[in-house]
Structure 1
Amino acid sequence: MLERLLPGYNCGECGYKSCRDFAEHLSSIEDLSRCPYMSQDRFRDHCEEIRRIIEKGVSRERIVGVMDGLEAEFSLGPLDGERSCVEDIHPLEDCSLKAGDLIRYRPLGCPITHFARVIEFDHGVARVHIVGPLFGERGKYRELGICMVLAFEGKVVRGRIPEVGRTVRFLPEHCMMQKVHSGVVVHSEGLRVRIEAIDLKVW
C-alpha cells in the first residue's frame, strides 16, 4: 500500500535497496525525510496519504519473539554476502583461536549450544558467524564451553533503524529460540548496526 505512494526510483538514497523495502520499514512520517524526493511539491499529497496510513497503524509490523512473546523494535540479519549476524564473543577460559576455526560454545545465559566459524581473534575476543547447529561433526570443532556475547553486528531487515546511544530490543534472525535480546546501539550507518552490552534478560 505504501509502496505505490513512494517515487519508485529505487535509488537507494534512503538506505534501502528499493522503494518497496523502504515502504516495509516506514513507521513514522519523519522517516520520509530519508527519501530525497518526498520533500518535492509533486509528492505533497502522497506524504499526506502516507501520514494517514501510518497514523492508522497500517504499516506497523510487530516483531515478536517466539520464546518470550516480547516485542522487538527491529530484527537483525546478516550483512550482504554473510551467513549470519556477526557476534563478538569472549570465552571464559583462556584459549587461542585463528580465523577459520570451527567452535562450539554456549552463550552465558542461553540454554542453546552454538556452532560458529571464527572470523578473527584478538585480545581474547572472537568475531564469529553462526554456522550451526551441526550434527555428526564431533572432533571437527573446538569446544570452548561458556562464552560471553559482547556484541552483535548486522543489518536491520525489519522495523525501525535505531539511533546511536539508545538501549534497544532486537531479534537476531539467526537465534534458534527466536528470543528478543537487548543492548546499546554504538554504531548505526544506513542499515548497518552494531549493538553492545548484550543482555538476554529483557524486561
Structure 2
Amino acid sequence: MDYIKKIADLLPGYNCNACNYRRCDLFAEMILKVKTEEKCPFLLKEEFKENNKKIKELVSNIDINLLKTERRFKGLDDYEADFLLDLCRENLQVE
C-alpha cells in the first residue's frame, strides 16, 4: 500500500514550499514519518479541513514499524522508487 501517494493526494498539490519541501509528495513522506501536517498552511483553511482530518486518520492508523521494512531508492530527480532497474543509465559505466 502506498501511503505516501494517499497522503499526497489529500494535500493541496500547490508545491509552494510553504512547508519547506519543494513538492507535496516529499512533504507527504515527512508527514508519514513524523506525523506533522501542521506545516502546510493550506490544510488549515476551510476548503482543506476535511482532507486534513483524513490525513490525521490515515497516519494514526499506520503501524510505523511496517513502513521501516519498505525499501526505497532515491533517483537523480529526487523521486523515490521501491525497485531498481538492472539496466539503467545511472548504473552504466563509461570507460
Normalised TM-score (structure 2): 0.57
The residue identity in structure 2 corresponding to 1:32 is E
The residue identity in structure 2 corresponding to 1:35 is C
Aligned partner (choices 62, 67, 91) of residue 68 of structure 2: 62
Alignment of 1:20-169 (within 5 A): 20-26=25-31, 27-28=34-35, 31-57=36-62, 60=64, 61-62=67-68
Q: Distance in 1 between matches of 2:58 and 2:21?
A: 20
The residue identity in structure 2 corresponding to 1:62 is K
Q: Distance in 1 between matches of 2:24 and 2:11?
A: 7
Q: Distance in 1 between matches of 2:21 and 2:68?
A: 20
Residue in 1 that maps onto 2:18: 13
Query: What 5-or-longer segments of structure 2 have no aligned partner?
Result: 1-5, 70-95
Residue in 2 that maps onto 1:2: 7
Residue in 1 that maps onto 2:89: none
1:26-75 CA distances to partner (integer Å, 9 max, x unpaired)?
132xx1211111100111110111011111116x4327xxxxxxxxxxxx
The structure with the larger Rg is: 1
Q: Distance in 2 between matches of 1:25 and 1:45?
A: 20
Aligned residues: 60
Residue in 1 that maps onto 2:93: none
Q: Partner of 2:21: helix, strand, or coil? A: coil
Identity score, percent: 28
Query: What 5-or-longer segments of structure 1 have no aligned partner?
Result: 64-203
Q: Distance in 2 between matches of 1:32 and 1:3?
A: 11
Q: Distance in 2 between matches of 1:13 and 1:42?
A: 17
CA RMSD, Structure 1 to Structure 2 (Å):
1.6
The residue identity in structure 1 corresponding to 2:40 is C
Q: Distance in 1 between matches of 2:38 and 2:30?
A: 13
Q: Which has the higher helix share?
A: 2
Normalised TM-score (structure 1): 0.28
